Chains A and B, each alone.
Chain A
Amino acid sequence: MFILLRQLATIRREAHLTRGRPRSLGIRHVDAGSCNGCEHELGAASNPFHDLQRHGLDIVASPRHADILLITGPVTTRMAGPLQTAYRAMPEPRLVAALGDCALGRNIVGDSTQLVGRLDDVLPIDIRIPGCPPTPGQIAECLLAALNSN
């Protein structure tokens, strides 16, 4: 199975597919050590006031189904490995979104021995959603901009 997956991944990468005019993006969220504020607001983006799904933005269960890896938190040493595993599992082309100030490396609080450093140095960030935490409206706005430009 892994050989097949690797072959398929290579074909996808070398085909240089553009997104054309896609009307949906699958989002996989990874909590890399957040305070749970970003999770609450990401969840709220699907509530009846915002209803992210109506734009074709869906939270998907597996990174294999995802177009965007949406990361929250300052990246703890314990979550660095699982985060890389999730990223590697994604099909290409793929995007990385940093949700919230911690993921953007701003105003991080914590012991440096327990954190791996800036997410920027770990994965290439394509979409930046600032805020502590960003409101559901801000999250929707940034993701919609990504949907319309990719």
Chain B
Amino acid sequence: MTEVEHLETHSLRVGVERAVASGERFAGAWASGGDHRASWRALLVSPHDLRVISCDASAGEVESIVDIVEAAGWDEREAHDVYGLEFAGHAPMRALAAHPDDPELWMTPVTGEGVHQVAVGPIHAGVIESGHFRFHVVGERILAMDPRLFYKHRGLERAAEGRQAADALVHAQRACAACAVTNTVAYAQAVEDARGLEPDRDLRMVRTVLLELERLYNHLHDIGAICAGVGYAPGSMAFAALKDRAQQVNMSAFGHRFLFGAVGAGAGAAALDASRADAARGRLREMQADTAAAWRELEFTGSLQARLDGIGVLVADDARRLGAVGPAARAAGIREDARSASPRLAYEGFTPASLHAPTGDVGSRLRLRALELETTYELLEEMLAKPLARGTTMRRGATSELGVGRVESPRGATMCAVELDGERVTRLHLRTGSYANWPALAHATAGNLLPDFPLINKSFELCYACVDR
């Protein structure tokens, strides 16, 4: 059961201040409840724990925390646009989820001699998700970039409200195909947390295998995407083929290329018998050797390597300040990975990957993924040595109205908060690794050349779908 501390409206700010001073980190905030019982809640994490602080928001206004925690900027802007909550001290309050016609209401004001704007999207030239980027440039040099997302806002969180906890899982899954396992495991953990349930060893194992299979095809995809970003077709095709082989393993082992339907809340939804586990393990072993060979080729391809260093730099201080997570943060030297603090999964003894020279550029993000792939192959080799049982949950604690799950996606720590009234979901909030990283991507873009943006973008490879929801 996640601890929830209820504070007076004016005390939440102090609570966050104290938490940050004592080393806890902000990991998301969300508005909850109707007009009369509206609340504003924040998730705080320390290396081995997480807790929620909450305050009354029924007056429609709370104090902003962006001056203490810059990473809360998007959370406040979203709650303002979607829940109509006002944040005293957050000025100017720029639109995020809302799409006002007046550009002044959502863009960074950038003026000066020779400054002009380049508008890109929402429809892009390739097969890319919909979203708009507004670049403020002088010549080819980017001064600032405003991402305008939420073109794909489907109202998934709202649509989940009022449904039975088991039926609302699909809302977390549909948020994003490429993070479907992460998002549904986070959702399941949140529901189980609220119900005082804990997964048994089998359930922890099968969920961990599913999460690593998701990471595998995503990291392979992302390495290929960086190759595509510099126009290096042999690399992008080789890794596209490896990604497909990973999805073929998903298909033959769990019946779906994106592992849809393999996660349930409160109990397992997938198992793997000895022969299928062995077959998957054999194919993954072949892939591991082919991945290593393909990666070696990339390391010795001068035309690729020459494009990676010093581009799209995100240094550790900025990564921390902006709340970056996942490969983007680790490539900047922040050794944090939610897998090392996941008692509800099977990651005992896990240590986050770290580079010898974490420079925070495109090259670092690429190399970090290659490094993490080795760990993923090793974990899968070990866990697929035996058949996987479906698993279930056991009662361990009292039930409560609020539960939280936190899972490392291929793009970083994802949190899911679920509020329940009996069996009914009253609030679902999903804050994904992509959501946490978009402000860091915008920051890393500044100072670079406009034609390098696709490469920088691909080196983060953030989802639009699980931000927009």
A61 proximal to B (CB < 8 A)? yes
- Contacts of A1 on B, CB cut-off 8 Å? none
B347 proximal to A (CB < 8 A)? no
Within 8 A of A (CB), among B103-156: 122-123, 125-130, 150-156
**Given the known A-B contacts A76-B152, A78-B150, A135-B257, are A36 and B465 also in contact in the complex, defined by CB atoms under 8 Å?**
yes
- Contacts of A36 on B, CB cut-off 8 Å? 129, 176-178, 463-465
B195 proximal to A (CB < 8 A)? no
**Closest CB in chain B relative to A70 CB, distance in Å:** 9
- Contacts of B152 on A, CB cut-off 8 Å? 31, 33-34, 73, 76, 78-79
**Closest CB in chain B relative to A72 CB, distance in Å:** 9
| Among A30, A32, A78, A115, residue most surrounded by chain B Cβ atoms (within 10 Å) | A78
Within 8 A of B (CB), among A66-116: 73-74, 76, 78-79, 82, 86, 109-111, 113-115
CA distance A7 to B446 in the complex (A): 43
- Contacts of A38 on B, CB cut-off 8 Å? 177
Interface pairs (20), CB distance under 8 Å: A31-B129, A31-B130, A33-B468, A34-B465, A35-B174, A36-B177, A37-B177, A39-B127, A41-B257, A42-B127, A44-B240, A59-B126, A59-B127, A74-B154, A109-B174, A111-B156, A114-B153, A133-B257, A133-B258, A136-B244
Contact surface of A with B, Cβ cutoff 8 Å: 29-44, 46-49, 59, 61-62, 73-74, 76, 78-79, 82, 86, 109-111, 113-115, 132-133, 135-136
B237 proximal to A (CB < 8 A)? yes
CA distance A115 to B152 in the complex (A): 9
CA distance A44 to B130 in the complex (A): 18
Q: Are A62 and B154 in contact (CB under 8 A)?
A: no
**Given the known A-B contacts A31-B128, A40-B221, A59-B126, are A78 and B240 also in contact in the complex, defined by CB atoms under 8 Å?**
no
> Which residue in chain A gives the minimum CB-CB distance to B125?
A61
> Which residue in chain A gives the minimum CB-CB distance to B464?
A36
- Contacts of A39 on B, CB cut-off 8 Å? 127-129
Q: Are B155 and A114 in contact (CB under 8 A)?
A: yes
- Contacts of A74 on B, CB cut-off 8 Å? 154
Across the A-B interface, give the 6 residue pairs with the lowest CB-CB distance, nearest first.
A111-B155, A37-B177, A110-B154, A114-B155, A61-B125, A47-B240
Q: Among the listed A29, A49, A113, which residue makes an inter-chain contact with B244, where contact means beta carbons less than 8 Å apart? A: A49
CA distance A61 to B125 in the complex (A): 4
CA distance A18 to B319 in the complex (A): 56
With A36-B176, A133-B258 given, name 13 new contacts (CB 8 A): A31-B130, A33-B151, A33-B154, A37-B258, A39-B129, A43-B127, A44-B240, A78-B99, A109-B174, A110-B154, A110-B174, A114-B154, A115-B155
- Contacts of B128 on A, CB cut-off 8 Å? 31, 39
B6 proximal to A (CB < 8 A)? no
Q: Are A110 and B156 in contact (CB under 8 A)?
A: yes
Count of B residues near A, CB < 8 Å? 40
B171 proximal to A (CB < 8 A)? yes
- Contacts of B257 on A, CB cut-off 8 Å? 41, 133, 135
Interface of B (DSSP majority class): loop
**Given the known A-B contacts A36-B177, A113-B155, are A86 and B127 also in contact in the complex, defined by CB atoms under 8 Å?**
no
CA distance A91 to B464 in the complex (A): 29
CA distance A113 to B257 in the complex (A): 31
**Closest CB in chain B relative to A98 CB, distance in Å:** 16
> Which residue in chain B gives the minimum CB-CB distance to A48?
B241
> Which residue in chain B gives the minimum CB-CB distance to A85?
B123
Q: Are A115 and B123 in contact (CB under 8 A)?
A: no
> Which residue in chain A gives the minimum CB-CB distance to B465?
A36
Q: Are A111 and B158 in contact (CB under 8 A)?
A: yes
- Contacts of A29 on B, CB cut-off 8 Å? 127
- Contacts of A78 on B, CB cut-off 8 Å? 99, 122, 150-153
B71 proximal to A (CB < 8 A)? no
CA distance A35 to B170 in the complex (A): 12
B159 proximal to A (CB < 8 A)? yes
**Closest CB in chain B relative to A102 CB, distance in Å:** 9
B87 proximal to A (CB < 8 A)? no
**Given the known A-B contacts A37-B177, A49-B244, A78-B153, are A30 and B130 also in contact in the complex, defined by CB atoms under 8 Å?**
yes
Q: Are B153 and A132 in contact (CB under 8 A)?
A: no
- Contacts of A79 on B, CB cut-off 8 Å? 122, 130, 151-152
- Contacts of A31 on B, CB cut-off 8 Å? 123, 128-130, 152
- Contacts of B175 on A, CB cut-off 8 Å? 35
CA distance A35 to B258 in the complex (A): 11
Q: Are B126 and A35 in contact (CB under 8 A)?
A: no
> Which residue in chain B gives the minimum CB-CB distance to A108?
B154
- Contacts of B177 on A, CB cut-off 8 Å? 35-38, 40, 133
Within 8 A of A (CB), among B282-309: none
B377 proximal to A (CB < 8 A)? no
| Among B154, B240, B243, B463, residue most surrounded by chain A Cβ atoms (within 10 Å) | B154
CA distance A109 to B260 in the complex (A): 15
- Contacts of B240 on A, CB cut-off 8 Å? 43-44, 46-48
- Contacts of B170 on A, CB cut-off 8 Å? 109
Q: Are B123 and A35 in contact (CB under 8 A)?
A: no
**Given the known A-B contacts A74-B154, A110-B155, are A49 and B463 also in contact in the complex, defined by CB atoms under 8 Å?**
no
CA distance A46 to B241 in the complex (A): 10
| Among A35, A42, A46, A73, residue most surrounded by chain B Cβ atoms (within 10 Å) | A35
Q: Are A35 and B244 in contact (CB under 8 A)?
A: no
CA distance A38 to B152 in the complex (A): 14
Q: Among the listed A33, A40, A133, which residue makes an inter-chain contact with B130, where contact means beta carbons less than 8 Å apart? A: A33
- Contacts of A46 on B, CB cut-off 8 Å? 240
Question: Chain B, 25-37, contact with A by CB distance < 8 Å: what is the 0/1 string?
Answer: 0000000000000
Question: Chain B, 242-261, contact with A by CB distance < 8 Å: what is the 0/1 string?
Answer: 01100100000000011010
